[in-house]
Amino acid sequence: MIKPHGSTSLNPLFVYDTNRNDELQKEAGSLPSMMVSSATAANAVMMGAGYFNPLTGYMNKADALAVAENMHMTNGVFWPTPVLNLIENASPVGDARRIALRDPNVKGHPVIAVQDIEDIEELSDEQMATMTEKVFGTTDTDHPGVAALNSQGRIVVSGPIEVLNFSYFSTEFPDTFRTAVEIRNEIAEHGWQKVVAFQTRNPMHLAHEELCHMAMQRLGCDGLVIHMLLGKLKKGDIPAPVRDAAIRKMVELYFPPNSAMVTGYGFDMLYAGPREAVLHAVFRQNMGATHFIIGRDHAGVGDYYGAFEAQEIFSRIPEGTLDIEIFKADHTAWSKKLNKVVMMREAPDHSKDDFILLSGTKVREMLSNGEAPPKEFSRPEVAQILIEYYQSL
């Protein structure tokens, strides 16, 4: 199986030993505690689950700025985006060297992790702006990722963590949330050698489904991991349980048995376009995928990124940095000429009118009215699940 990024074996930060976990829970009650941001809690989940291997905790200021500048930590480890515990006020920490981190997304705010504090530093406005610009390509606060990062504070609390739970992801999505450890184990159980991963934060229409089939066939993969985001999204995105139901129905009906896994991970979307595409590739390698589909405007939002910037960034990563391989995809759509789904770049003799293309606004309007999109756009069984959701609003 493909090795994890940055180490020979996966090193999840979740405390699996029940006695040790209980000890830490008790210790946390006597430690100073800090309510962290949703993004910081999600980072803890990703480190606990092994997706962020080989990180051992939250970065310090030097590492965060180095990662923003050149995608390498100061020790030389490749990493595409800062992973930070940012706060507005350090007074609750005092002179403590150990602190309990409380989860903002779960009732009662239980302790999600215990952190050893190595340093407490402050980012200047200039440093914050530089980091924002390098990661997101913009400092525009209308960008949801920029707004989320810059709302957390300027104080960097760095140091290793031990993770005690997986927040709401394991309880609200028990059939879908999987750690990188669990996915690696499932891949091994299936006996898959070549595995392609597909990222989604939306339900999968026919074009997405066919793209997965194309990738599997062209790469010679014996397994597909559909890996959906279960964390915080932007306003208007379809809730995870609805996406989950729609995707499971599609896999049940239109993929051969033992060929596709439907899974999810706990993370707050950054919408960082190219940088987030690289991050997605890193944690897909950590979960055992050998290949990863990067499509048009991967992890983008609005008009902040070029259509293929998320693919082009991989050409700037030194060879050998990552073992996972990228399957570069174009927009896929139904061709009226060929009577099947194709990648648009592979149909040079087509005009826009030769494809069935529907805007997101038009699709939402149809579904809200109880009308299924054409069969060339969406499987009827998937459309029915989405119709029921939109009509319940």
Cα–Cα distance, 4 to 8 (Å, whole number): 6
* CA-to-CA dists, residue 179 to 42, 48, 160, 187, angstroms: 13, 8, 19, 12
Mapped onto helix, strand or coil, the DSSP state of residue 315 is helix
* CA-to-CA dists, residue 358 to 332, 352, 367, 393, angstroms: 12, 11, 12, 22
Residue holding tokens 């669990």?
A: 182
Burial of 56 (0-12, 13-18, 19+ CB in 10 A): middle
CB atoms under 10 Å from CB of 197, counted, come to 29
Question: Do the Cβ atoms of 15 and 24 come closer than 8 Å?
Answer: yes
Pick the catalytic residue from 11, 98, 154, 202.
202
Which residues, including other chains, have CB under 8 Å from residue 96's CB and lie 6 or more apart?
A: 31, 32, 117
In the 8-state DSSP scheme, what is residue 288?
A: T
Pick the catalytic residue from 201, 218, 286, 345.
201
Residue holding tokens 């606004």?
A: 361
Alpha helices (runs of H) in 151-239, residue ranges in sequence order = 169-172, 180-190, 206-219
- Residues β-bridged to residue 260: 224
Cα–Cα distance, 289 to 187 (Å, whole number): 9
* CA-to-CA dists, residue 34 to 41, 81, 87, 100, 207, angstroms: 11, 23, 9, 6, 44
Residue holding tokens 């010679």?
A: 220
Question: Do the Cβ atoms of 86 and 40 come closer than 8 Å?
Answer: yes
Is 202 among the catalytic positions? yes
Are β-strands 57-58 and 155-163 bridged in parallel, bridged antiparallel, or unpaired? antiparallel
Is 201 among the catalytic positions? yes
User: What end-to-end distance do the CA atoms of the chain give, in Å?
Assistant: 44
H/E run at residue 98: strand 98-102
Query: Which residues are known catalytic residues?
Result: 201-202
